[in-house]
Amino acid sequence: MSHHKVDSQQRILQIVFQSVHLTRGDKLAISSAQIPSEFSNPNLEVLLSEEQLQTRIKELGGEITRDYAGRNPLLIGVLKGACFFLSDLLRAIDTRLSIEFMAISSYGSSTRTSGEVRIMKDLDVPVEGRHILVVEDIVDTGLTLSYLLANLESRGAASVKLAALLDKYERREKDVKIDYLGFKIPDEFVVGYGLDFAERYRNLPFIAVLKNPNHE
């Protein structure tokens, strides 16, 4: 095969590849312009940015590291909302620990609490003698947490403490001691970073006020 022929074959291949890339690029550009962004949904007003959340969570992780060093704590995440907070928090806690999950019934699909608390998924391990740190997204009326903390204490845990990302303190009906708190927030319905409205918005990397719950 002559040099000339190899060169012209390569040139043809280059042109073919370039045109494939161009076509794919055009399609991607067009389709991404048509997809409405959930993160910049106009029905959301950012309350706590991703950076504010991450900075505060690192601070909390530092405090928990100091308080729990050598005690092998069991962190209990409350499904589903607290998973996001738990996963960032535990990577900021530099000591031996383990995690478990529980699911507690609360709001269902509306923005009002039912007042009824039920355990939907219980622990798979005994907690007797363990130092427990419950990790929750938000304390609102306090009904869920006061029930859960008392329940865990009654199982003979060595200690039971609470880390909550948000405290909607104005709506408290039952006293709950928050040992590690991220932020106090006003009485508004918030979504994002695990918190949902009818299962939507958990994937936002920030916390936002939902301006109109009935709006698309």
Out of 73, 77, 81, 192, the residue judged to bind Mg ion by CB under 5 A:
81
Residue with Cβ nearer ligand IMP (67 or 117):
117
CA atoms of 201 and 82, how far apart (whole Å):
14
Residue with Cβ nearer Mg ion (61 or 81):
81
Count Cβ neighbours within 10 Å for each residue of 125-163 and write b for 16 or more, e otherwise: eebeebbbbbbbbbbbbbbbbbbbbeebeeeebeebbbb
CA atoms of 160 and 74, how far apart (whole Å):
10
To ligand IMP, the closest distance from the beta carbon of 93 in angstroms equals 21
Residue type for position 142: G
To ligand IMP, the closest distance from the beta carbon of 183 in angstroms equals 12
Site string for ligand IMP, 141-180 (x = CB under 6 A): xxxxx----------------------x------------
Residue with Cβ nearer ligand IMP (59 or 170):
170
To ligand IMP, the closest distance from the beta carbon of 106 in angstroms equals 4
To ligand IMP, the closest distance from the beta carbon of 68 in angstroms equals 23
Nearest in space to 161 (alpha carbons), one of 145, 173, 172: 145
Choose the contact partner of 206 out of Mg ion, ligand IMP, none; CB within 5 to 8 A by kind.
none
Q: Coil, strand, or helix at residue 79?
A: strand
Catalytic residue list contains 140? yes
How many beta carbons lie within 10 A of that of residue 119, not counting itself?
Answer: 13
Catalytic residues: 140
